[in-house]
Structure 1
Amino acid sequence: MITTDPTPGSPCWLDLGAPDVRAAAAFYGAVLGWDFESMGEGGGAGGDGEGGMFRKDGRTVAGLGKLTEEGARSAWMLYYTVTDADATTRAVEGAGGTVRVPPRDLGEWGRAAQYTDPAGGRFAAWQPGRQAGFELADEPGSLSWTELYTSDAAAARQFYGAVFGWEFSDMEMPGDGGTYTLITPAGLPEDRMQGGLMQVREEDLSLAKGRAYWHPVFAVADCDTAVAAVTGNGGSVQTGPVDAEGVGRLAVCLDPSGADFVVLTPPSPG
């Protein structure tokens, strides 16, 4: 499970780069029940500013910004807690990754950097100052899991193990679906598993032009209702909804700008 405590190596933040901030705010508001607070000149919910914060029931869950990088696709960026962003940067470079955005201070809130793994997967690090990260996790309308699609799972394990010290365990997927690798922060019990990585064919990575990519999994109260909101508000569904034993009911979705995410309703207790 993902929590809001600043455990090194665990997810602590995510933000979306979108070509149309107002449209993205409206879409995720409809699908996940988020409110958007613009930090730009437009001000207010759904304003015309360059970005802002998503909130669920008054608690911050994610960020939204204008997509400005030339040639980049709209996508969610996942951030992981680190104690020293500069040391993490050296670890990324030493393990064969590249630095997209060097460590930089964001006022008193913290220090951030963005990277690319050797297979092209983009991710980020957050060294907390006053701000630890999101204020809600593992509840409907918030991040509950992270997932990497890659064409080389063994290389991904080696890279992220070197960078974050993650611990890995494998499980076989039903129906000859291959091996799914579960991720747990270093030194924590299995109930703190935070994500997984799955090896796929390079041709199955067309969304990122053959490169590996991370995406978020959002908990929802009812997967089918969330999917109806996705398609009813200009998004699309790649897979599902399907029931996954021991996991819940899920669907892989795209927002109107092509950013991928998963909605998941966990199984009922008992």
Structure 2
Amino acid sequence: MPEVTAPYAPGTPCWVDLAAPDQQAAIDFYSGLLGWTGQIGPPETGGYAVCEFRGKPVAGIMAAVPMGGQPAPPTVWTTYLATDDADATERAIGAAGGTVLMPVMDVMTLGRMCIAADPAGAVFGIWQAVDFPGAGIVNENGAVIWNELNTTGREDAAAFYEQALGIQAEPMESAEGYFALSVQGRPVGGMQAMPEGVPEGTPSHWLTYFSVADTDETVAKVQEAGGAALKPPFDMVAGRMAVVKDPQGAPFAVITPKPMNQG
């Protein structure tokens, strides 16, 4: 079901957020594109905006500013994977060959988080829910429908995510060279070698997919707003999709899923 009513199983993508140089412009762009509502948050949360769709939290947008002596984060969407124990997962990440970029920290009473990178350099977040479980709507037009790891080291990545987070990579029968990332036997994301045609030097990364009613129309809106199509609309096994970047440069994918893939 699109509305999430049960806790996310450990290893499942549970949240995405964007760091943007112009936070308000990003809120306005995604609200217009996907039907979200959102506003810059209070100072005690660093202004973090929890965007909503149909009254449910769907994604976060923050200002990309230097923090703690570190440079401003890149303008990208970050995928967060659920955990029951952030401290134990942090240790497991290091033991499996990953790198902890931001150690575990409390986010008020909402939960505990850390930011890490896998052995190939793909950055992701870890979220241990307390008062805030994560996205309240998924798999519906206007919400996240898929999280995909594009990697320069597929075998190492598969071993890493299984060891650190219990995520299993299994070949997807209907898509050659594509792997389903499964938690407790249920696909929760995908993995593939770095696709052909991406700019040279593109690092391993997690790509966020948003479900939309009309991929072509959505891409046109992105372009009209000052964004661009990195991979124009095309048909594939799961539906019609495209990879775009927003006006501030953050890449993401949009897909109009085939009916059998909705829900």
Instruction: Measure, in 1, the Cα distance between the counterparts of 2:118 and 2:221.
Output: 33
Instruction: Measure, in 1, the Cα distance between the counterparts of 2:112 and 2:72.
Output: 26
Give the total of aligned pairs. Answer: 253
Determine the structure 2 residue equivalent to 1:53. Answer: 50
Map 1:1-270; keep pairs closer than 5 Å.
Answer: 4=4, 5=6, 6-40=8-42, 50-69=47-66, 70=71, 72-171=73-172, 179-185=177-183, 187-188=184-185, 192-200=186-194, 204=198, 206=200, 209-245=201-237, 247-269=238-260
Q: Structure 1: which 5+ residue stretches go unaligned?
A: 42-48
Q: Structure 2: which 5+ residue stretches go unaligned?
A: none
Query: Partner letter of residue 263 of structure 1?
Result: V
The 3 A distance-change label for structure 1 pair 221 and 210 is: closer
The 3 A distance-change label for structure 1 pair 28 and 67 is: same
Instruction: Measure, in 2, the Cα distance between the counterparts of 1:116 and 1:68.
Output: 20
Normalised by the length of structure 2, the TM-score is 0.89
Instruction: Measure, in 2, the Cα distance between the counterparts of 1:3 and 1:93.
Output: 34
Instruction: Measure, in 1, the Cα distance between the counterparts of 2:195 and 2:56.
Output: 38
Structure 1's consecutive aligned runs of 4 or more residues displaced over 6 angstroms after TM superposition are: none
Instruction: Measure, in 2, the Cα distance between the counterparts of 1:128 and 1:66.
Output: 22
Aligned-partner SS, 2:121: coil
The 3 A distance-change label for structure 1 pair 160 and 193 is: same
> Percent same amino acid at aligned positions?
36
Instruction: Measure, in 1, the Cα distance between the counterparts of 2:231 and 2:182.
Output: 26
Deviation at 1:25, TM superposition (A): 0.9
1:150-178 CA-partner distances (Å, limit 9, x unpaired): 1111111011111111122113776xxx5
The 3 A distance-change label for structure 1 pair 146 and 205 is: farther
Deviation at 1:37, TM superposition (A): 2.3
The 3 A distance-change label for structure 1 pair 201 and 227 is: closer
Normalised by the length of structure 1, the TM-score is 0.87
The 3 A distance-change label for structure 1 pair 2 and 183 is: farther
Query: Partner letter of residue 10 of structure 1?
Result: T
Instruction: Measure, in 1, the Cα distance between the counterparts of 2:10 and 2:72.
Output: 32
